Structure 1
Amino acid sequence: MSPKPRATDVKARLVEAAIRLLDENGPEALQARKLAAEVGVSTMAVYTHFGGMAALVDEVARAGFVRLSGRLAEVGETGDPVADIFSLARSYRQAVAEQPQLFAVTFGQSAPGGKRATLFDLTTEEGREGAREGLEAFTYIVRATERAIAAGRFRPTDEYQAAAQLWSALHGFVTLEASGHFGPGEQGIDHILIPLGITMAVGLGDTVEEAGRSAEAARAAWRARTGNAGQGENE
């Protein structure tokens, strides 16, 4: 007789199964019955391990932030913090493009079964206290912003609020791109995302010339890391 799986193992399997269902069939598929069948447990297991679907959705959102943090961690830091912001934007955009359904739940844009993930204001100390996984992902943008301020590229300002402005612009692009507003493939990167990033950097205190050079440095770093210029990028 095979050993009974530990509760933590079942819980992790349920979260992974929920992400698979989202990826394959969208938020409508995230139901206790379908989830239990995917894992091979009873429907009651969902309620035993999470107390209900609302808590499961929160766990899925946390898993999304963990995945996003992992992608942003791959970027690393260079001597050009503004280039690093452009590189973080590319990695962020790529992660969301690969799993749009997961990140729609993660960012509260999708509410499977009417259950929306609990969200926090990451620009306040109170909000940051309850958002460990989301804060970790946001911190990569904050740290690069803080370094840009220290380097004199951005004006002295609150790094969390400046990073939130950058995040807002980036996520707005990603959301619209996912909806098909910027055409197929990656053509929106050159025509929308990079100019948007330059505009935001200049608004925060950078020069057009320096921001443009940083954007080009990030493009070169992306090509070197992925071996792919992207369908929408100029050769």
Structure 2
Amino acid sequence: MNVLVVLGIILFILMSIIGGTKGVNSFFALFFNFSVVIIITIFMTNPSINPIILTLFASIVISCINLFYINGVNIKTKTAFLSTMITITLLLVFILYLSNKAMIQGFGVEELEELSMFSFTISVDFIKIGTSVIIMSTIGAITDTAMAISSPMREIHFHNPHISRGELYRAGLSIGKDILGTSTNTLFFAFFGGYIALLIWFKDLSYSIGEIINSKIFSAEMITILSAGTGVTLVIPITAWITAYFLVKHKISK
């Protein structure tokens, strides 16, 4: 039996036992999100389609799957979804500016030998492609953080329905501060886990620190990590404010 199939079965069994119905939904959500990414990748090869608009549409679909399909339609998922969309919109302006100034689009020198057999005249805007890659890399972390804040805020309001909006907002910020460090570190070490071979290659080629930092591949990945960290940081006060506003205004019962 294929190793991937065995690992998939083990993951499904563990998620079913530990997570119950939500665990099963989370397992299938992985495949739904994978299908969305594959479809978006296919359409991105069409020069007539704006990849940024396509990526924003994909971000909406992925957020709906991660929030509404797994956790249902309720005040927690609604506020997390709204916070995610606002954060992505704000982050898009920042990423567009950064992508144009940093010139990280296209391929690095380290990749040219492998790509020398292919044609580069494919009429695709690699600045927009680079922007789309960064957005897709941040959407998961932003959605996860938004849900991690809105859910405990809902519990706080349920057990203390007379709490003021300001107190609830400060509670949300306190929750956000606790998860901010772990979230950003997760993004940072995910890079080193995925690109450890590249770092070893840099060492074998005797790259200096300056050459590593100015390498297009390294810079692109670090910008992606920093953009994701910026998104995770931004979504904390946005989610805390939106959740506090809706919970206190509507006095929603569990």
TM-score by length of 1: 0.27
More helix by share: 2
TM-score normalised by structure 2 residue count:
0.25
